[in-house]
């Protein structure tokens, strides 16, 4: 199953929800959301700085990942960036592929 990193930032309304309900409630809700599309959550960390939350998990395909992204954006409580993650073996397979490429100006 493809693995993704979700970088999440809460809106003021989303941050207010965290103040009222706490982090454990939010973790349970996000885990339930990911599981609802057939996925699993591997790691879940709140942070401060550039992003408010990092989630790593697996979902069946790009359509499931897009569904999560659209639902998150539509909620108004947070925005997220979805980053596909590759294993070392997947990168090995990628660099082994024969690719025809001509750099600009060549």
**In the CATH hierarchy, which fold is given to the domain comprising 3-86?**
Alpha-Beta Plaits (3.30.70)
Q: What is the domain partition of the chain in residue ranges?
A: 3-86
Q: Is the model's pLDDT at 106 over the cut of 90?
A: no
Buried b / exposed e along 68-103 (16+ C-beta atoms within 10 A)? bbeebeeeebbbbebeeeeeeeeeeeeeeeeeeeee
Read off the pTM.
Answer: 0.90
Residue 10's φ and ψ, nearest 5 degrees, are -85, 140
Structure confidence by residue, pLDDT tens digits, 59-84? 999 999 999 999 999 999 999 999 99
| % pLDDT > 70, the chain | 100
Q: Does pLDDT of 6 surpass 90?
A: yes
Q: Residue 2: pLDDT above 90? A: yes
pLDDT at position 73: 93
């Amino acid at each position: 199953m493809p693995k993704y990193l979700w970088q999440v930032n809460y809106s003021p309304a989303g941050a207010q929800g965290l103040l009222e309900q706490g982090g454990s409630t939010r973790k349970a809700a996000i885990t339930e959301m990911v599981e609802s599309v057939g996925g699993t959550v591997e790691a879940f960390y709140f942070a401060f700085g550039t992003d408010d939350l990092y989630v790593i998990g697996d979902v069946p395909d790009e359509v499931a990942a897009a569904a999560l992204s659209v639902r998150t954006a539509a909620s108004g409580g947070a925005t997220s960036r979805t980053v596909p993650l590759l294993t070392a073996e997947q990168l090995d397979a990628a660099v082994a592929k024969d690719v025809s490429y001509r750099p600009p100006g060549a």
